[in-house]
Amino acid sequence: MGAAIADVADALAAMGAAIADVADASEARHVDFLYVDANEDTASGGHVALRLGDQTYHFGYHRPGLLFLDREDSDHFERVYTGLENRTIESRRIAVSAETFELLRAGFNERYLTETAEREAIDSIVADRELVERWSSGSPEVDVRAAGYFADREKSVADPPLARLRAAVRARYGNAYAEERIEAATRAIRRLAETPIASGSHVGWHVGWHVDVDYGVAARAADLASEIEAFRVLDAASLLRTGALVPPAASEPDLDARERRSLASYAGRLERELVDLAGSRRPDVGFALLLGMARFLALEESLRTGRLLVLDAYPLPPDVRTLSREEVEAQGGRLDELGASTRSDLERSRVAFSLAEDPREPDWGALEEAANRHREVASAIGSDRPIRIRSERLLPARPARRSLPGEGRIEPSIASAAISRLEREETTRREKLVATYDYDLLTRNCVSEIFVEIDRALEKKAEPDLSSEAREAAVERLAVEHLGGHVPPNRGFEFIPFVAADAVDEELRVDGVEVSYSYRRARVAERTESEGFVAALRESNVLTSTVYRRNVEDSAFLFFTDDAFFARPLFGAVNLVVGVGASAFGLALLPLDRGDTAWAGLRGILWSVPELAFWNVRKGSFFAVPEPEANARPRPESAAADRDRIGSPFS
Amino acid sequence: MRVRGNRAMATLAVLALFASACSFSKSSESSSDSSAASSRSLSSSSPDGKSKNEQAYRQDVGDYTASWARSKGDPGDGAEFQKGLARIAERHGVTNWEADRATYLGIGQGLRSAGVAPDDVSAFQSSLGGDSGSGAKLIEEGYADVRS
């Protein structure tokens, strides 16, 4: 562990220096227009995105036919698209002023926040309606997040760790403080039952991308129930429930002296913050207090045992998917590789946390998440149990179901009126959501909306109250001023990703193009360079490739054609035969595999057809990829020229 | 140009036959990626000491506050503004947002960006950090930060 820590510390120092270099060089800002080449199925048309520093924005298709703005950490975006999806990314770098950068960043980000709030609003209305329905027929139950980490309150031990926190809270706010908070929250819940509809704020729709917050009766009731639970846990100085903590894997070392110091320091700070938090009147105090106390207990237990113990941060089914070892391997994954990768992440996180001077809550969250992910895989390796899969951030929130306090129920007449209004509101919102975010292949897709949003951001610099024509002229002038040119949305074929990339090349102030090659192409290029032609031959097909493992989510094929232009029709013909064979074989397997093989064969035929005409769409995909390596390399030629040489509008 | 037009027509034909022009939104919910998800758990530090995560959080709080200030003017009774703030904070792994200085700096930054007059900043200070508390001072700091 010592050597590993030294290595990781060196790596972190080097990373810091590299980041510093980048930052120095980035005083003049830039934005990157990203063209992501195609892959089979939903990615067949290619994709575009706009990278604004650490954040990348792109429009994605969401069922049942809506187009929303998505935001990713830029490193994560690249890792997902070049790694897991195995697609090459071309970045067109456009130099901009700091003002232009901020204009675009704020424009895209406000739209992202607004869209997110609007989508959450519908969930909020549905939750309100369901709660009012339950409340009118009796005392309803609600899920209290993070309450599921605590043991029943009857269980007690002498001198529990939360007793110190309870004493500090009583000393600052009074001995009866917890009871007072519980009573106040209980009264507030009774008031909600009297006027449930007035407790919602389901009003308004975005006007020029303004964020509206929906804080309806269900969210308010859940917050109040959380507050009650939090003060009960504090007052009882409850313990963690068995199973709340994830124990270390056998291979994990104990805490060293430096880690003990950093954990003790963070636990002390968390304890002080929890005393402050107990005095807060913010609406979401309950969840923050419950999670904070659970984490405090995990820290205390870690210090007591000398081993890193963290809360089990995975959600409960159905919010988490599981995969057996067989399913992982069918997708080309290997648990031992995942275990090594996640162990490396955990080691880095441990060092980073122990070196942090003033760690914030997300720093502990990062360590907690890395420990959860590694231990999940390590446990599956040791026991053959399925692994839980969740790629979103892991925030511990294990819920427990609690009844809302109070004797009464909502009066039937009040409930009926509230339900009717909420149903109307839900219908209206859904209709508006479809009308506002409807996807259209030709006129409203991931390309057109990027340019729409750029124009919208620039328009903020235009004079107000202009006529439509004058505003269009002003936007064009601003685009020339800020970006060197203008690409109007929905012009000609520019709704097609690669045509749009060419338009950016021609119209905007593009300083250079960088390519991040797909994971397979980058690895094959490395191996061909070191091993020669034999490596290229070996990696040309699914059977002998050492980079790619067959993934059941890919169509049936034999040869990769994305890096084989001249052989593409020949390889395509072989792939076509493989597809036909797999389809026929799949028919025989129909009763056994529910048509999976037949479907892969049919898709194999489909994506082989373009290859006959020198086009490549299919590239294969990966279950997991190791830490990102330097795929980026400067482009010697223009992007369009390279694509012509490759010969595919998709690749 | 003619070549590009021909390729575009061919592309159109393929698109019409095979699929859509946009990726499904799955980059953020890729079910098969344990390692990529774990990559997000590491936050690197930028030269001025603020982590990428902290900067992104501060910017989100700033944009949210700016949007709120432009459309509503003041935080009202505070509950809805704070609830929205809590939702944003949680996406960044922050649940105790009151204890995070980036929250207040972001609010100040957002108020400045929305063009809120210095005298009107106090409504947000009262709602969040108390008129003279450390939160209030940090809001002023964020508001005064020219770079923000």
A468 Cβ neighbours under 8 A, 6+ residues apart:
none
- Using CA of residue A604, residue A610, residue A612, residue A617, what is the dihedral sign? negative
In B, which residues are within 8 Å of A43 by CB distance? Answer: 19, 23-24
In tens, the pLDDT along B20-66 reads 556 655 433 333 344 444 333 333 333 344 478 899 999 999 999 99
In tens, the pLDDT along A593-620 reads 889 999 999 999 999 999 999 999 999 9
Residue A17 predicted with pLDDT over 50: no
Give the C-alpha separation, B145 to A160, whole Å: 45
In A, which residues are within 8 Å of B107 by CB distance? Answer: none
Q: Count, in order, helices (H) and strands (E) of chain A.
A: 20, 13
pLDDT at B82: 92
Q: Under CATH, which number does the domain A2-113+427-516 receive?
A: 3.90.1720
Best to test chain B binding among A39, A361, A442 (most B CBs inside 10 Å): A361
Closest Cα in chain B, distance from residue A517 (Å): 17
Give the C-alpha separation, A166 to A178, whole Å: 9
In B, which residues are within 8 Å of A34 by CB distance? Answer: none
**B144 at interface of A, judged by CB pairs closer than 8 A:** no
pLDDT at A417: 86
In tens, the pLDDT along A292-318 reads 999 999 999 999 999 999 999 999 888
Test A393 with B21 for CB contact under 8 angstroms.
no
Q: What share of chain A is helix, strand, coil (3-state, %, to 5)?
A: 55, 10, 35
The pairs formed by B1-9 with CB atoms below 8 angstroms and a separation of 24 or more are: B3/A644, B4/A493, B4/A499, B4/A502, B5/A493, B7/A649, B8/A492, B8/A493, B8/A496, B8/A499, B8/A649, B9/A493
Shortest CA distance from B148: residue in chain A: A102
What average pLDDT does range A635-645 have in this prediction? 37
In B, which residues are within 8 Å of A209 by CB distance? Answer: 67
**CA-derived radius of gyration, chain A:** 28
In tens, the pLDDT along A453-499 reads 999 999 988 888 888 899 999 999 999 999 999 999 878 888 889 89
- Give the one of B22, B30, B41 whose C-beta lies nearest to A60's C-beta: B22
Q: Pull the structure tokens for residue A58.
A: 């792109």
Q: Which of residues 16-45 of A touch B (CB under 8 A)?
A: 16, 19-20, 23-24, 36, 41-45
Give the C-alpha separation, A565 to B54, whole Å: 45
- Give the one of A120, A287, A624 whose C-beta lies nearest to B35's C-beta: A624
What does the mean pLDDT of chain B come to? Answer: 74
In tens, the pLDDT along A189-248 reads 988 887 766 544 444 444 344 556 678 889 999 999 999 999 999 999 999 999 999 999
Give the C-alpha separation, B80 to B90, whole Å: 15
In tens, the pLDDT along A249-260 reads 999 999 999 999
In tens, the pLDDT along B67-112 reads 889 888 888 778 889 999 999 999 999 999 999 999 999 999 999 9
**B23 at interface of A, judged by CB pairs closer than 8 A:** yes
Residue A515 predicted with pLDDT over 60: yes
Best to test chain B binding among A284, A619, A644 (most B CBs inside 10 Å): A284
**Local confidence band at A27 (pLDDT 50, 70, 90 cut-offs):** low
Is residue A316 a contact partner of residue A394, using CB atoms and an 8 Å limit?
no
| Complex-level ipTM | 0.85
**A272 at interface of B, judged by CB pairs closer than 8 A:** no
pLDDT at A21: 37
Test A83 with B91 for CB contact under 8 angstroms.
no
In tens, the pLDDT along A405-420 reads 876 677 888 888 888 8
Residue B2 predicted with pLDDT over 80: no
**A265 at interface of B, judged by CB pairs closer than 8 A:** no
**B50 at interface of A, judged by CB pairs closer than 8 A:** no
B114 Cβ neighbours under 8 A, 6+ residues apart:
B65, B66, B67, B69, B70
In tens, the pLDDT along A531-564 reads 999 999 999 999 999 999 999 999 999 999 999 9
**A201 at interface of B, judged by CB pairs closer than 8 A:** yes
What does the mean pLDDT of chain A come to? Answer: 87
- Give the one of A23, A79, A362 whose C-beta lies nearest to B94's C-beta: A362
Higher pLDDT, A267 or A158: A267
Test B86 with A373 for CB contact under 8 angstroms.
no
Residue A106 predicted with pLDDT over 60: yes
Residue B41, SS3? Answer: coil
Residue B12 predicted with pLDDT over 50: yes
Greatest mean pLDDT among A129-143, A202-216, A379-393, A547-561: A547-561
Q: Which of residues 79-138 of B touch A (CB under 8 A)?
A: 79-84, 86-88, 90-100, 102, 113
pLDDT at B25: 52
Test B67 with A292 for CB contact under 8 angstroms.
no
pLDDT at B131: 60
Residue A132 predicted with pLDDT over 70: yes
**B56 at interface of A, judged by CB pairs closer than 8 A:** yes
Residues of chain A with CATH 3.90.1720: 2-113+427-516
